[in-house]
């Protein structure tokens, strides 16, 4: 049993410890992110956790709601322009909202949903020497608790690249 734990620990450390691409970026993300209301968005942080794997966090909201989301992304080069990558990701969103209008199924409360996205991520640093990252994505939102059953959204982000 001890050998199995040691082996699994070694594989974990080698995968996530030594092969990390320590590139991070922080900025703003807006649009209809994670199937939320249009122009919702907020502070966005993306970090690579090893190879082409990244985690993206967004904390923000819009009219009458606050939302946090996390997405696990797989990012690969397009081979078209230096720094231009495509990505696909899955994750979740949690938030709270208060709908002031009447006649809606849900007026207020905590919500939980699953999100997915496909998009383009363009790090301008290799091309023009500016540590700026632009990202555009779209994908479905599936409400799990206290939210609309299915939605489709898109968003854009502008981030400062931290090396």
Q: What is the CATH number of domain 20-162?
A: 2.40.160.20
Domain ranges of the chain: 20-162
Spans in the chain with pLDDT lower than 70: 1-22, 32-40, 99-107
Average pLDDT, the chain: 80
- Written as one string, the DSSP assignment of 38-104 is TTEEEEEEEEEEETTEEEEEEEEEETTEEEEEEEEEEEEE-SSSTTEEEEEEEEEEEEEEE--SSS-
pLDDT tens-digit readout, 31-54: 765 444 445 679 999 999 988 999
Model confidence, pTM: 0.77
């Amino acid at each position: 049993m001890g050998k199995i734990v040691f082996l699994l620990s070694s594989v974990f450390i080698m995968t996530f410890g030594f092969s990390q691409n320590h590139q991070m970026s922080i900025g703003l993300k807006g649009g209809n992110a994670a199937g939320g209301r249009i122009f919702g968005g907020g502070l966005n942080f993306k970090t690579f956790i090893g190879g082409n794997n990244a985690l993206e966090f967004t904390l923000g909201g819009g009219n009458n709601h606050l939302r946090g989301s996390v997405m696990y992304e797989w990012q690969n080069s397009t081979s078209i322009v230096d720094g231009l990558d495509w990505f696909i990701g899955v994750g979740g969103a949690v938030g709270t909202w208060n709908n002031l209008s009447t006649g809606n199924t849900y007026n207020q409360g905590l919500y939980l949903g699953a999100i997915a996205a496909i998009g383009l991520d363009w790090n301008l640093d290799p091309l023009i020497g500016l540590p700026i990252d632009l990202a555009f994505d779209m994908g479905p939102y599936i409400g799990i608790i206290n939210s609309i059953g299915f939605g489709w959204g898109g968003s854009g982000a502008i981030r400062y690249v931290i090396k």
